[in-house]
Amino acid sequence: MRDVIVIGAGGGGPVVAKELAARGLDLLLLEAGPRHADPEREWTHFENEAVGRFRWGPADRTRPAWLREVPYNALLMQLSGVGGSTQHYLANSPRAMPGVFAGYSRPDAAAYDVAHRFPFPYEQLVPYYEWVEHTLPVQTAPMGTKEPLFFRGAERLGLPLNTTKDITRDSFRPQENAILQPGGNAGHTTDAAQLLWPQATGCTGCGCCWYGCYEPRKAPANLKAKRSTDNSYVPMALIAAGWQPGGRNATLITDAFVTNIGTEERSGDTVARRVTWRIGATGEHVTEDAKVVVLAGGCTESPRLWLNSGLPNPNDWVGRGLTDHFPDILIGEFDEETAPFKGPSSAARADFPGRGFLMNIGFPPALAALGTNLSDGGMAGFYDNGRPDASGANASGRLIGNRFADFMARYRHLYGVIILTDDDVEANNRVTLSRSVPADEHGPVPKVFLGHRHPSARTVANREFLTRKTVELLRAAGARTVHRLNLPPFVLHLHSTMRMGLDAADSVCDPNGAARAVRRLYIADNSVLANSLGGPNPTLTTQALATRTAEKIFALEFGGQPWVSREPPVSSIDPIVTRAVVEREPAWRAHG
Ligand SMILES: Cc1cc2nc3c(=O)[nH]c(=O)nc-3n(C[C@H](O)[C@H](O)[C@H](O)COP(=O)(O)OP(=O)(O)OC[C@H]3O[C@@H](n4cnc5c(N)ncnc54)[C@H](O)[C@@H]3O)c2cc1C
């Protein structure tokens, strides 16, 4: 019997695996998708190929992607494979807004989703933020041509610079992100031959964060620039004995789609006991017992697995409360070159507590062309799909024909800003099981209610406020024209479908991240977030929470001592970790 089985090697799962393997527990990490053992050879910066490689689908690429029912015009971006959706992520790592936590009492307290706060105060999470920020590590983002332009606009709007990590007032700042600062030749040349590790370290400025990070080439896995979990927490979990005294290496099995969490009844309690997964290559099913099960399949698959396993759902909140930051994108066109294709994809932000935030967004050309055509607002200049625009932008909706061609011809002068809204937890925005799409080899497939979601009046007002601010900011920075995409559901950030909460009536997990209805079952992905964090990008908070949950598991289920406030964290780029990675890497490459 394993001590702990973690389901899902994305943003959250590997954090629990690393922390508990470092404490000497016998850890099994199961991942439905592939392990890209050698991204340098397997991945590419050619956009068409790169986008095709990253998908929600099986390791065997001759087989189709896994189905989900996503009614209406919507894009749901989640990935399978080691690293999960962090393979795609831009690594922006802000903390949540303090106003979304219990006990917040500043004058603006009522501006947030007061009915669905985190069930403990912000200050309690700070040591866990610091631990993760050191481990990844999180640093101030390197700046390129596009960032000063954003700062210019923000300053002209009268926003102050925020020099702290806490978001408590309207302000702007460089992003804190989980991308290593450039060193050596990095940042000084575009000559690929000079951008090899160790002559180059950290971010080489390739502008391809979206497509998985394998820069600088020749670097060991833990020294790749972007700190997606495949470059940080997963290597650390697999070599825990190599860097932590008393650590024990976790076992990772990929191509292992978990189809059932088995339980037993003990003294009137339902207790998680075993996990069954299907091996993609053979179709065989394997079952193992565990003392504790951690569910970290992400916001769509965690509720799906719960429902397919027939686990109790007494208050019917499994899958409910989906928040997605109700995003939109605006693009300014400038006389000057904006270089949208260089450097970390996003390195500047402006926060509006109680409303959400805006951040600049760089995009390689094919993504720019695709993005410009993602709209719910009809065709610019022809019809508006009932989504008229009051943001003050010059145009809204899809660009077509010559207008689109002119726009793309000015690609080097375009400047994207994405807005991410503080959106309310709503019971009817949810993941459930599809009744119209047939079950696949893993059981009934999930249906994600995006197209006909029900944003609250506050959510809609926040989105409109942020789009107006973005138009003002871009104009203040010097934009000639501003175009609003008026996006359909464009889902990069999903949260809160298995939310933790103070009230047992509208939450699935208790304040420890433990499922209320099934003992010895914990949740450690974005789905356990109590709300949408006020707008900030979610992964750092999920990882801080997963660290806290690992401590709770160790203390409550194994009688261990907490460590975060008692020991210094070890960084994933510490030389001791690098040595252990270099020793183990040949074996990873051999086994895939
Ligand atoms: C383009 C893009 C940009 C982003 N940029 C940022 C950013 O800058 N900052 C930020 O904070 N966030 C960003 N995000 C969001 C970030 O990727 C997510 O917050 C994070 O990955 C969520 O972690 P998770 O563990 O909830 O889910 P995931 O990372 O999706 O991981 C879930 C994992 O579980 C596996 N799995 C699912 N079901 C099963 C099963 N039944 N059995 C076995 N395995 C299973 C999946 O294959 C997957 O690997 C971005 C996302 C996208 C798409």
| β-pair type (446-448, 431-433) | antiparallel
Rounded distance between C-alpha atoms, residue 299 and residue 494, angstroms: 6
Query: Does ligand 1 have an atom closer than 6 angstroms to the CB of 344?
Result: no
425: phi > 0 → left, psi -120 to 50 → alpha, else beta; which?
Answer: beta
pLDDT of residue 163: 94
Do 145 and 337 form a contact (C-beta atoms < 8 A)?
yes
Tell me the pTM. 0.98
Crossing angle between the packed helical segments 539-558 and 13-22, to the nearest 10 degrees = 40
Do 426 and 415 form a contact (C-beta atoms < 8 A)?
no
Query: Does ligand 1 have an atom closer than 6 angstroms to the CB of 35?
Result: no
Rounded distance between C-alpha atoms, residue 92 and residue 538, angstroms: 9
Taking alpha carbons only, the member of 479, 489, 557 closest to residue 522 is: 557
Give strand pairing partners of 272: 263
Per-residue pLDDT of the chain (592 residues; tens, 9 = 90+): 999 999 999 999 999 999 999 999 999 999 999 998 889 988 998 888 887 788 999 989 899 999 999 887 888 889 999 999 999 999 999 999 999 999 999 999 999 999 999 999 999 999 999 999 999 999 999 888 899 999 999 999 999 999 999 999 999 999 999 999 999 999 899 899 999 999 999 999 999 998 999 999 999 999 999 999 999 999 999 999 999 999 999 999 999 999 999 999 999 999 999 999 999 999 999 999 999 999 999 999 999 999 999 999 999 999 999 999 999 999 999 999 998 888 899 999 999 999 999 999 998 888 888 888 888 889 998 988 888 899 999 999 999 999 899 989 999 999 999 999 999 999 999 999 999 999 999 999 999 987 667 889 999 999 999 999 999 999 999 999 999 999 988 889 999 999 999 999 999 999 999 999 999 999 999 999 999 999 999 999 999 999 999 999 999 999 999 999 999 999 999 999 999 999 988 777 776 5
Instruction: Give 363-370 contacts, CB < 8 A, sequence gap 24+.
Output: 363/210, 363/416, 364/45, 364/47, 364/207, 364/208, 364/210, 364/211, 365/47, 365/341, 365/408, 365/411, 366/47, 366/48, 366/51, 367/47, 367/51, 367/210, 368/340, 368/408, 368/411, 368/414, 368/416, 369/408
Query: Does ligand 1 have an atom closer than 6 angstroms to the CB of 6?
Result: no
Cβ neighbours, 10 Å, residue 374: 16
Phi, psi of 478 (to 5 degrees): 115, 10
For residue 16, what is the DSSP state?
H
pLDDT of residue 51: 77
Token pair recorded at residue 221: 């896995």
Query: Does ligand 1 have an atom closer than 6 angstroms to the CB of 31?
Result: yes
In angstroms, what CA-CA distances link 502 with 270, 350, 477, 510?
21, 30, 43, 7
Query: Does ligand 1 have an atom closer than 6 angstroms to the CB of 150?
Result: no
Do 181 and 91 form a contact (C-beta atoms < 8 A)?
no
Q: From ligand 1's centre to the CA of 87, what distance in Å?
A: 8
Q: From ligand 1's centre to the CA of 229, what distance in Å?
A: 10
Taking alpha carbons only, the member of 22, 131, 15 closest to residue 571 is: 131
Q: CA geometry: angle at 374 spanning 368 and 379, to 5°?
A: 110
Q: Please choose from 89, 277, 322 the residue to mutate so as to test ligand 1's pocket, defined by most ligand atoms within 8 A of CB.
A: 89
Rounded distance between C-alpha atoms, residue 238 and residue 257, angstroms: 20
The type of residue at 7 is I
Nearest protein Cα to ligand 1, atom 38? 297
What lies within 8 Å, CB to CB, of 124 at 6+ separation is none
